[in-house]
Amino acid sequence: MRPRREIGPTEATEVSALAASGPVIPNFGANSSKCVVENRFFCGEWVSKNWDSVLWPALRQHVLLTAIAVGIGFAISMALALAAHRYGWLERPTILATTTLYTIPSLALFELLVAPVGANIFAAEIALVSYTLLILFRNILTGLREVPDEVLDAAEGMGMSRRQTLLRVELPLALPAIVAGLRIAVVTIIALATIVYTIYNKGLGVPIHTALGEGPFKTELIAAGALTVLLALAADGLLVLLQRALTPWTRAR
């Protein structure tokens, strides 16, 4: 129906069948080092040689996939949460819908989207966005609801309009909960985006897939796996710094 590469480790089975009989000698190119040919635990030299051509592009794509998903997911969740904050009855149906989306396993959701959308970036992003909604919606709404009544009364007493109260009082006070939600969403999406390769050949799932087909080639697996985890930790750390910068008053306590 559409040109797409085989996503399962088809070559892997045949190579691991060889592994039973003798040392695995995958063909990593004519000038592979001994470490790579013997498929040792980790070959730093392979990483530096393939950083520019393999790992760095995959990492960049992974960041982009995540950023688009969290960006769009945040905009949708914010709109939904503001609506549910004003019209309370919207909360239950939204939670129900987003929980259902969140429950569908990633591998299945990607394929389900391929039929109507095609095996492309749109299918990938729709799936990733749908995984952010539950987390972000719930956290933004919780943050908005936890603003103390006295504060709202004070805002009203100062003559603030509904819009001013929202922008100058409620949203700033909800920031810690919102950022907490963003942290969970970003980390979750970074981990999930490794499955994107099954429908759209981008992201850190690509080197993992290649490595699985070659033996599996340990260095590439470890490098790509570690990059994914490090990216998640780095993004999480950045968001903590962002929160500190945005909410200086929370540190005084």
The token pair at 105 is 């396993």
Q: Which is nearer to another protein, 140 or 155 (CB)?
A: 140
Judged by CB under 8 A, how many residues of this single chain contact another protein?
A: 68
Given the rule CB under 8 A, which of 30-38, 77-85, 160-168, 191-199 is the region that contacts another protein?
191-199
Phi/psi of residue 12, each to 5°? -60, -40
Per the CB < 8 A criterion, the answer to whether 181 and 204 are in contact is: no
22 binds another protein (CB under 8 A): no
Measured from the CB atom, the residue of 64 and 191 that comes closer to another protein is 191
Give the per-residue contact string, 138-167, with another protein (x = CB under 8 A; - = no).
xx--xx------------------------
Residues 206 and 196: their CA atoms lie apart, in Å, by 9
Q: Is the peptide bond before 207 cis (omega within 30 degrees of 0)?
A: no
Q: Tell me which residues in 217-236 interact with another protein (CB under 8 A).
A: 217-218, 221-222, 224-225, 228-229, 232-233, 236
Return the SS3 of 58: helix
Stretch binding another protein (CB under 8 A), from 29-37, 53-61, 73-81, 208-216: 208-216
d(CA 204, CA 225): 8
Q: Are 231 and 62 in contact (CB under 8 A)?
A: yes
The residue within the footprint of another protein, chosen from 7, 63, 72, 160 (CB under 8 A), is: 7
- Applying CB under 8 A, among 80, 181, 200, 202 the residue interacting with another protein is 181
The one-letter code for the residue type at 90 is L
- Based on the shown chain and the rule CB under 8 A, indicate whether residue 64 belongs to the binding site for another protein: no
> 106, exposed or middle or buried, with CB in 10 Å at 0-12, 13-18, 19+?
middle
> Residue from 132, 195, 202, 206 that binds another protein (CB under 8 A)?
195
- For residues 243 and 174, the answer to whether their CB atoms sit within 8 Å is no
Which residue, 132 or 155, is less far from another protein as judged by CB? Answer: 132
